[in-house]
Amino acid sequence: MQTQGHLIVDVARLDKDGEEFSGETDEGLLELGDEPYITPLGVMRYRFFAHLLGSELLIQGRVWQPIRCVCRRCGADFETVAEENEFVCSIEIDAKTEYADLTDEVREAIILAFPSYPLCREGCLGLCPTCGANLNESACACKHSEGGNEFACLDDLLKGTPGETGKKRGGRKSSVESQRK
């Protein structure tokens, strides 16, 4: 059910009780253009169930695409999978319809499944705004309490008042370190 990189359903031969089909598309189907943070890795895969309902071809199933992302906070590369597990689309057909092309629908579903703000991990600490060190890997010697580190405030919010944190851990730099563990 695939022709020249397109995802095609052979409507004329479709079982009247519906039919499951699965496969993969060609690489490069997504044509992301100037998307700087996300690169598709290899092919997009799908597993669908197709059935005819009157003048409609109804497709339901799952589509997924491995991707490489650039973390928006620290710039590290990481890999993940963009997936749509509840893909649904319906295509109008008539008695003369032989093929239906799902390529656009599938492409759109995957692009919508991309992370809008890719992060290498939940709570990525990002880079030090002063020296550029990756704070996920090691704390740097810079002072982050002068408003330079946006996470210092968040840290205080999560752990109680800044005073308490200061007494227990000896300042905000320590509280950043404790968040890493």
Candidates 109-117, 121-129, 155-163, 164-172; binding stretch for Zn ion (CB under 5 A) = 121-129
Min dist. Cβ of residue 113 to Zn ion (A): 20
In angstroms, rounded to a whole number, what is the distance separating the alpha carbons of residues 132 and 142? 10
Asked if 67 touches Zn ion (CB under 5 A), the answer is no
Could you say which of 58, 142, 156, 179 contacts Zn ion (CB under 5 A)? 142
Asked if 144 touches Zn ion (CB under 5 A), the answer is no
Candidates 4-12, 16-24, 63-71, 169-177; binding stretch for Zn ion (CB under 5 A) = 63-71
Could you say which of 71, 89, 127, 152 contacts Zn ion (CB under 5 A)? 71
Specify the 3-state DSSP secondary structure of 22.
strand
Beta carbon nearer to Zn ion, 63 or 135: 135
Burial 140-157 (b: 16+ CB within 10 A, else e): bebebbeeebebbeebbe
Give the position of tokens 């404790």: 178
Could you say which of 1, 11, 63, 74 contacts Zn ion (CB under 5 A)? 74
In angstroms, rounded to a whole number, what is the distance separating the alpha carbons of residues 168 and 163? 9
Q: Render 64-103 in DSSP notation, one character per residue.
A: EEEEEEE-TTT--EEEEEEEEEEEEEEEE--TT--EEE-H
Asked if 131 touches Zn ion (CB under 5 A), the answer is yes
Asked if 124 touches Zn ion (CB under 5 A), the answer is yes
Beta carbon nearer to Zn ion, 53 or 131: 131
* Residue of 84, 101, 103 lying closest to 29 (CA atoms): 103
Beta carbon nearer to Zn ion, 63 or 125: 125
Cα 74 → chain centroid: 17
Asked if 128 touches Zn ion (CB under 5 A), the answer is yes
Contacts with Zn ion, residue ranges (CB under 5 A):
71, 73-74, 120, 124, 128, 130-131, 133, 140, 142
